Amino acid sequence: MLIARLIAEASGLETRLDAASKELEAAGMPVAMAGMLDFCGDVLQVSLPHGEAGQVASVLTDHFGDSDLLVADHDIEIPRLFVSDMDSTMIGQECIDELADFAGIKDKVADITERAMRGELEFESALRERVGLLEGLGERAIDNCLAERIAPVPGARTLVQTLKSKGCRTVLVTGGFHHFADRVAEQLGFERVVGNRLAVAQGKLTGKLAGPVSDASTKLATLEEERDRLGEGARVLATGDGANDIPMIEAADYGIAYRAKPKARDAANGRIVSEDLTAVLKLLGIPESEWVLG
């Protein structure tokens, strides 16, 4: 069984659904059932006895536009584990780019960040290069950056708190830095944080990292470690936007690319194209009356 859910506008719904159903049937993927979820009024669920997830997503996109979407090979459940990236996913910024602005080199650092997130540069070397450019910056700039530049994306706290209320463990795992991630996690309600550490001496950044690098392999290992603790059958949700999120997105039952770079989006079985992360709650079928508003 293949289940596809997308957030759809009511206008022209029946016409678009009929056309999509005919195209899916012609491709050998007949629709068994389709309709709006009773408890999530703008979520359309399409059920198929069999099908290829990528092809189903493509057909639905052709007829419904670039909508928030999730496709699974089972009945969609509330996950027991949520693992998320931070920069440009839980918060709307790339912390290292904003911090670099305090050193007057944002454009240079942001270009490296963008290329790394697109998968054009090897992550660790790109990270070390950017951190090296921050050598000598006062540690106080981090506090100023947090206060002035860093903010959660809409719905982030509601997503985390609602999942926690359903018994889901929440983990923030980032290629960014504990200086930022610890405080973001506290603000949003994550239970565990994994990330990199900036080395500091005499109140200034040294241009080095302290300890091992948190990268794509770290994100995957964290997901697998947490999932193994929960035991067999525990559904996992992962969200991210960049190339270094791909391994954990692919390993999750619900790997959702949030306003993502092309490679990450292609690897995911779900996507959020709108800004508000409460769309994830809708796709999971959690009624708005049960959301824990942040």
Write out the catalytic residue numbers.
85, 87
Residue 218 has a CB neighbour count (10 Å cut-off) of 20
* 3-class secondary structure, 103: coil
10 Å CB burial of residue 167 (0-12, 13-18, 19+) is exposed
Q: Which residues contact 240 (CB under 8 A, 6 or more apart)?
A: 84, 85, 89, 219, 246, 248, 249, 257, 258, 260, 264
What is each CA distance from 24 to 49, 183, 268, in whole angstroms?
Answer: 12, 46, 21
**E-only strand ranges, 157-232:** 169-177, 192-196, 198-201, 204-209
Tell me the backbone φ, ψ of residue 191, rounded to 5 degrees: -90, -20
Q: How far apart are the C-alpha atoms of 113 and 130, rounded to whole Å?
A: 8
